[in-house]
Amino acid sequence: MVVSIRLTVKGFDKVMARVQNFKRIIPIAGKSGVMEYADMLIRRMQMIINGEMRYPEQSTGELVGGFYTEGDETGISIYNSAPHAKWVDKGAPPHMISGKRGNKLAWERYGQWNTAWVVSHPGIANPMRFSERAVEETKYAIKEIMRNKINQMMR
């Protein structure tokens, strides 16, 4: 299960049509600007996750460390490879959980170890919504980043 966010440079073709003499500058600045913004978004999502983790001592780091990007000069996608990323971000209905490869599940609660073949998970009614929140909190930064990248390339 993968959570993804797609960032695209809107109107890229229109910009390129207007600035024929900058054809080499715009794609490079666009790609590096979008990459810089993607890195900012990933850092913000990691901060949200770390700040709201309910049981940090039980964290494997898979969610925070699972971010990666793919893309080109017209856009980039941010993914998270943690199998539970979508549920933590968007929520999940109540569901059953069973052990892998025929093993029992085991967990510690109040200092006592418990085991079971299957448990009923209550679901995630209050998801973190870390992807939406990170985009909302950083959406104005992309204009400034792109402006700076283009200015750097034109020097």
Predicted confidence (pLDDT) per residue in 18-61, tens digit = 555 555 555 555 667 777 878 888 888 888 888 877 666 667 78
Per-residue pLDDT of 102-133, as tens digits, reads 789 888 888 899 999 999 989 988 898 888 88
Give the separation between CA 69 and CA 51, rounded to whole angstroms.
23
Lowest-confidence pick of 57-66, 67-76, 100-109, 131-140: 67-76
State which amino acid sits at residue 61.
Answer: G
CA dist 100 to 77, 80, 86, 97, 146, Å? 31, 22, 20, 9, 47
More confident residue, 72 or 119: 119
Break the chain into its structural domains and give their ranges: 3-91+127-154, 92-125
86 pLDDT above the threshold of 70? yes
Taking the whole predicted model, whether its pTM rises above 0.75 is answered as no
Tokens for 33? 């600007």
Tokens for 71? 């893309």
The three-state secondary structure class of 93 is coil
**Strand extents, DSSP E, 18-137:** 67-72, 75-80, 95-98, 105-109, 112-116, 118-121
83 pLDDT above the threshold of 60? yes
